[in-house]
Amino acid sequence: MQYADRQLEILALRPSPFGDDPDVEEARATLRERAAQKQPGPAMATVRDIEVEGLPARLYRPRPEASPLVLYLHAGGWTVGGIDSADRLCRRLAVAAESAVLSLDYRLAPEHPWPASVDDAVGAMRWIAAAPAELGGLGPWGALGDSAGGTLVTLACLRLRSEDPAALPAVQALIYANTDLTGSMPSMRENAAGGGLDPKAIRWFNSQWVADESRWGEEGVSPLATADLSGMPPALIVSAERDPLRDELEAYAERLREAGVTVTARREPGMIHNFLQMDEGSPAAAAAADRVGRELGDLLRTA
């Protein structure tokens, strides 16, 4: 397999920022430092820090009348990251999707282990569906998450499907998401090195979120373990060819299709995990990030 471009190959082969025996606070500080070194993202018509069900959030509008809306749940293994580390990405997504973006600062593990972050995602979806005044006029809306954020998007949809289907988004978008915490798929071994995410780091993130490893394969934790996926929102699913999590996400897309869910799925050739955050260093990653935004915007406008 080839990388999408030379710049992406260099990024893929860098040592993990989290080290062999990560400390949570050090990992968070490393991510904040890297985010601070990035160039600002595209200018917005408005950017407002607001509160969603008691949690910090940031609302981006690329133009005053921007509609529809995308709820964004960030990557970071449920343990690191936040609205500041995702700021550049949210601005880029807003432009590409021609949509407002609402970035949620959900609670992080290990201080707030599973299911706290799922609860936060559910609460945010219910809040959006109630069309609060802070959002202005609200048309079709979607929820996008990358990596751990994608796990939260679909776990929240699974819960709302049963508890409050009126609060479901029109589209759920999962980008290189973790759908099987057991790590049993071939891509976990095939892309163990140079895939943008070390399998050892995956296990560390998993353990911060769900300390009891015997629960990693349960429904409500691993989306792929869900017996019945019918009634879920239409899905945009984008996997990365060199990602350790590739096979499990593609298997989840197939399971959704088998359950009668409308699925738009594709594999980004030559891409690695976390490519949405690599637009500065890789022209190919930047183009792939823009494709995700445009595709989600198109799906929402036809929902």
Q: Is 273 a catalytic residue?
A: yes
Task: In whole angstroms, give the CA distance from residue 28 to residue 34.
Answer: 10
Q: 67, 273, 279, 282: which one is catalytic?
A: 273
Q: What type of residue is 285? A: A
Task: In whole angstroms, give the CA distance from residue 283 to residue 105.
Answer: 28
Task: In whole angstroms, give the CA distance from residue 249 to residue 262.
Answer: 15
For residue 266, list its beta bridge partners: 238
Q: Is 99 a catalytic residue?
A: no
Q: What three-state secondary structure class fits 64?
A: coil
Q: 120, 198, 243, 247: which one is catalytic?
A: 243
Write the DSSP symbol of residue 165. G
Q: Which two tokens stand for residue 63?
A: 């133009």
Beta carbons within 10 angstroms of residue 163's beta carbon: 10
User: Contact at 8 Å (CB) between 229 and 199?
Assistant: no
Give the pairing type, strands 46-52 and 141-146: unpaired
Q: Is 147 a catalytic residue?
A: yes
Task: In whole angstroms, give the CA distance from residue 203 to residue 244.
Answer: 12
Q: 147, 187, 207, 239: which one is catalytic?
A: 147
Which residues lie closer than 8 Å to 37 by C-beta, 6 or more apart? none
Write the DSSP symbol of residue 40. P
Q: Where are the alpha helices (DSSP H) in the chain?
A: 6-12, 24-36, 87-97, 116-129, 148-163, 187-190, 199-209, 246-258, 283-301
Q: What three-state secondary structure class fits 243?
A: coil
The CA distances from residue 161 to 168, 232, 240, 282, 303, in Å, are 7, 7, 28, 38, 18
Q: Which residues are catalytically annotated?
A: 147, 243, 273
